[in-house]
Structure 1
Amino acid sequence: MIDAMGIGLIMPVMPGLITEVQGGSLAQAAVWGGVLSTVFAVMQFLFSPILGSLSDAVGRRPVLLVSLFVMALDYLIMALAGTMWLLLLGRVLGGITAATHSTAGAYIADISPAEKKAANFGLLGAAFGAGFVLGPLTGGLLGELGTRAPFYAAAVLVLANFALGWFVMGETVQDKNRRPFEWRRANPFGAFRAVARIPGIKPLLWVYFLYSVAIYVYPAI
């Protein structure tokens, strides 16, 4: 939920921040906003299977904690950015460090007995939805203090999540379920090929793709 809040917090102020950094009209800011959103999404696409495979090898805990710490630094970079290139770098780092949904999902799978898996994955989805509602609302209120305020708030939230994980979260990857890291499985195209071999899954992948396009077009606009 805190991760989703951190992403949503910055949405209300991005147009103003881009205009402040780049100058020009709101229409030009919208173009840059589209570029930044695309870069963020591409990084998530490329790094989600990498981080997921890495968590199979070294453990869920270090992957999640390192990602959270770097994400907090990323929000601070964006809070201080005075050029579009720094904002672009911030979105690259943000996309990489936010590509931990597969790792979080694997953690849920690790700790859930078979009869509770669906319910626990539902909780994960509900937490993301709640964060995405609360994030823009809070970001809009903080935006009254300036275009940089939501980024500092997002950094604080992510650091709070890091602290919670550091003290509460245990490791679930043991020798019995540890898998060596392989680039064959860690790149997104290799992951698609591996998943597509599961009988009956291709139609579900297409449905989920169209569903995702329909969902994410709204925050982009």
Structure 2
Amino acid sequence: MPIWKRNLFVCWFGMFVAGIGMSQIAPVLPLYIQHLGVHNASSIAKLSGIAFGITYIISAIFSPIWGHIADKVGRKPMILRASLGMALIIGCMGFAPNVYVLIGLRLLQGAITGYSTACTALIATQTDKEHAGYALGTLSTGSIAGSLLGPIIGGLIEEYLGFQPVFFITGALLLIAFIMTALFVEESFVRQDKKAKSIKKTWEEIPEKSLTIVLLVTFFILTLGLYSIEPIVTVYVTHLTQGTAAAHVAILAGLAFSASGLANIISAPRLGRLSDKIGAHKVVLVALIAAGIIYIPQAFVKNPWQLIGLRFLLGLAIAGLNPSINTLVKKITPDSLTGAVFGFTMSAGYLGVFGGAVLGGQVAAYLGIQYVFFVSSALLLINAIWVYFKVYKKLCLKENAY
């Protein structure tokens, strides 16, 4: 097996498990907080929001820092650091004596992040150009699928095994990822003994700043729209459910949220390969338009299965965005800055997850659930127009020039 394929397999597994580790707590969090001694409903809701959101906010802060360090010491050491750190921290969550220790551990989990950033930078710099789109497309399925399937996996483990195994199993899988990385991942990295640059200085050295900003905002909007349904999916499915299916609301809600992740696993490698052939900028534009359109009928569904089907179609479309954005970032960024720039990209994604949850809840509360889909659609379509003028036309002109 070629080295790049072996690296890809190990990193995919690790990113899938890391994605689960970030999101698996979502469906069990209120119940676990109650288990830890908090019984007031409003306190449970408030503490659940803090415990869930703090990981993503802290991750957004630390991701560029770890990416910057990865450019200096290598990406494999950062993968090892992050996987072992997350394995220990998530495992310790199962022993949390109270909710404040749990929140502290969630904060530490955000600070120790950098796994996805380092994996993406490793694959981008260690894979030849003709396979880059496919490799990054495949890799992206790990993180997104883990994040989207995490809630339903966490819910199933809690239902059949209890609260603590949710954390122990995830921690054990991350420990396996650490061992696999140590044994099988290879990196050709020459350490440069130069004075460390600040993140601000690194940003100043990025050659295509305007393109990079458009891609960062696009990744933010992508995750914002994808996670806007999270706070309202159970309520929406309950509203759509009638008769005997009402007893299975939790499972149907989990399927509705996770359907995009399943579709992503199927579609992303193929769309990544397509971006290698026709250009990543073309895939990004078409995927944005398709995703924006698919959001609209989700507001008019009559039963949960229609919602699940449309969420699956949404996942097929969105699968083209993540790998194509990463491919474009790799294309316009020097190898010496790849880790730092992918760190900025991951920060945009983490902020999108947090922002999407906040946006979905606020829009549903003030305007109604249907408007969550209308707002998400509008954001994606406006973003598509921006991408057309700032990325698509610019790169097409460069292609014609050659």
Show the counterpart of 2:178: 162
Tell me, what secondary structure is at the counterpart of 1:11? coil
Match of 1:21 among 10, 29, 36: 36
Matches within 5 A, 1:52-71: 52-71=67-86
Matches within 5 A, 1:6-85: 6-85=21-100
Matches within 5 A, 1:63-212: 63-144=78-159, 145-175=161-191, 178=192, 180=194, 182=196, 184-185=198-199, 198-212=209-223
Q: Separation in 1 of the partners of 2:20 and 2:134?
A: 22
- Identity of aligned pairs, percent? 25
Contact map agreement 1:45 1:99 (CA 8 A) in 2? no
Distance 1:93-1:57 versus aligned 2 partners, 3 A rule: same
Distance 1:65-1:200 versus aligned 2 partners, 3 A rule: closer
Tell me, what secondary structure is at the counterpart of 2:114? coil
Q: Separation in 1 of the partners of 2:64 and 2:175?
A: 24
Distance 1:160-1:217 versus aligned 2 partners, 3 A rule: same
Match of 2:226 among 184, 195, 215: 215
Write the letter of the residue equivalent to 2:20. Answer: M
Contact map agreement 2:86 2:174 (CA 8 A) in 1? yes
Greater mean alpha carbon deviation, residues 153-162 or residues 135-144: 135-144
How many angstroms does 1:111 deviate by?
1.4
Q: Separation in 2 of the partners of 1:161 and 1:40?
A: 21
How many angstroms does 1:108 deviate by?
0.8
Greater mean alpha carbon deviation, residues 88-97 or residues 195-204: 195-204
Q: Separation in 1 of the partners of 2:204 and 2:41?
A: 42
Stretches of structure 2 that go unaligned for 5 or more consecutive residues are 1-15, 231-356, 362-402
Provide the aligned length of Structure 1 versus Structure 2.
216
Q: Separation in 1 of the partners of 2:90 and 2:100?
A: 14
Deviations 1:3-36 (A, max 9, x none): 1122333222111111222412344222212112
Contact map agreement 1:21 1:83 (CA 8 A) in 2? yes
Q: Separation in 2 of the partners of 1:120 and 1:28?
A: 44
Scaled by the length of structure 1, what TM-score is found? Answer: 0.85
Q: Separation in 2 of the partners of 1:107 and 1:163?
A: 17
Q: Separation in 2 of the partners of 1:152 and 1:192?
A: 39
Q: Separation in 1 of the partners of 2:223 and 2:195?
A: 28
Tell me, what secondary structure is at the counterpart of 1:80? coil
Scaled by the length of structure 2, what TM-score is found? Answer: 0.49
Distance 1:118-1:56 versus aligned 2 partners, 3 A rule: same
Deviations 1:92-134 (A, max 9, x none): 1111223332211110112111122121111111122332344
Taking only aligned residues, the RMSD between alpha carbons, in angstroms, comes to 2.4
Distance 1:161-1:87 versus aligned 2 partners, 3 A rule: same
Write the letter of the residue equivalent to 1:154. Answer: T
Q: Separation in 2 of the partners of 1:78 and 1:43?
A: 17
Distance 1:140-1:196 versus aligned 2 partners, 3 A rule: farther
Q: Separation in 1 of the partners of 2:124 and 2:85?
A: 25
Distance 1:5-1:12 versus aligned 2 partners, 3 A rule: same
Contact map agreement 1:56 1:179 (CA 8 A) in 2? no
Deviations 1:51-71 (A, max 9, x none): 111111111111111111111
Stretches of structure 1 that go unaligned for 5 or more consecutive residues are none
How many angstroms does 1:156 deviate by?
0.8
